[in-house]
Amino acid sequence: MTLAPLPGQPIAGDEPVFQAPWEAHAFAMTLTLHQQGLFTWPEWAAALATEITRAQQRGDADLGDTYYHHWLAALETLVAAKGASSAPELARTRDAWERAADRTPHGRPIELQPRDFEG
Model confidence pLDDT, tens digit, residues 48-82: 999 999 999 999 887 778 889 999 999 999 999 99
CA distances in angstroms from 72 to 22, 23, 25, 27, 51, listed in the order given: 9, 8, 10, 8, 9
Q: How confident is the model at residue 2 (pLDDT cuts 50, 70, 90)?
A: low
Query: SS3 for 13?
Result: coil
What's the confidence (pLDDT) of residue 18? 85
